[in-house]
Chains A and B, each alone.
Chain A
Amino acid sequence: QLQLQESGPGLVKPSETLSLTCTVSGGSISSSSYYWGWIRQPPGKGLEWIGSIYYSGSTYYNPSLKSRVTISVDTSKNQFSLKLSSVTAADTAVYYCARRMDVWGQGTTVTVSS
């Protein structure tokens, strides 16, 4: 059974870079049938797609975040990662990783505060 687990710091200072990793277990991240993505949810609000990466290595980012976002894959570790630079309080959210929106991680809360 495929499982995804987010990990990373729960507290990030303003202007710094948020870095999260999603570890995939029970399946290979290298499958050509799927893409992998990050989605976030600010407290009490709805869902926002951050970006996705395909098995080919192609990446697609939300234009509202594009200048600050990088998503990458480490096939040797069966992981993919999110980096979001120059964070502000508006980036405080629960961050989810997902496979093609059909399998989701439990989410990790990231707070941006000094």
Chain B
Amino acid sequence: DIVMTQTPLSSPVTLGQPASISCRSSQSLVHSDGNTYLSWLQQRPGQPPRLLIYKISNRFSGVPDRFSGSGAGTDFTLKISRVEAEDVGVYYCMQATQFPQTFGGGTKVEIK
């Protein structure tokens, strides 16, 4: 199985300031079709997960442009340009390049 490792575990952020989350995979996420199936999901307290970013850097419908994804191969980053109160929650990276699909352990974003 591909292991997804996220850092940090927790990220206290001041409102209006940026936040960054890293995700590293145990092997390359480049699929044989040339795509890299790395996604980012947000889970607000008491809510189901919500897709933010797919294929490294594509924002899903309705996702604010303060969220951006980058990376390649085995190293990926989610950035929030200016954290808002509604961004509090746990963020997961997820790979769908190879079965079984696997998730990172999650990064909790909270307000200082």
Contact = CB atoms under 8 A, between A and B. Distances in A.
Interface of A: 37, 39, 46-49, 52, 60-64, 96, 101-107
B13 to A, nearest CB: 21
A92 B13 CA distance: 33
A47 B99 contact: no
Describe B's contact surface by its main secondary structure: loop
Interface of B: 1, 39, 41, 48-51, 54, 60, 92, 94, 96, 99-106
Contact of B49 (A62, A64, A104): A104
Nearest to B104: A46
24 contacts: A39-B49, A46-B103, A47-B41, A47-B92, A47-B94, A48-B103, A49-B100, A49-B103, A52-B101, A62-B100, A64-B100, A96-B49, A101-B39, A101-B41, A101-B51, A101-B54, A101-B96, A102-B54, A102-B60, A103-B51, A104-B48, A105-B48, A106-B48, A107-B48
B21 to A, nearest CB: 14
List 4 A-B pairs, minimum CB-CB distance, nearest first.
Answer: A49-B101, A104-B48, A62-B100, A47-B103
B105 A46 contact: yes
A101 B94 contact: yes
Contacts, number: 46
Given A46-B92, A101-B39, A63 B100 contact: yes
Given A47-B103, A52-B101, A101-B94, 20 more contacts: A39-B49, A46-B92, A46-B103, A46-B106, A47-B41, A47-B49, A47-B92, A49-B101, A49-B103, A60-B100, A61-B100, A63-B1, A96-B48, A96-B49, A101-B39, A101-B41, A101-B51, A101-B101, A102-B51, A107-B48
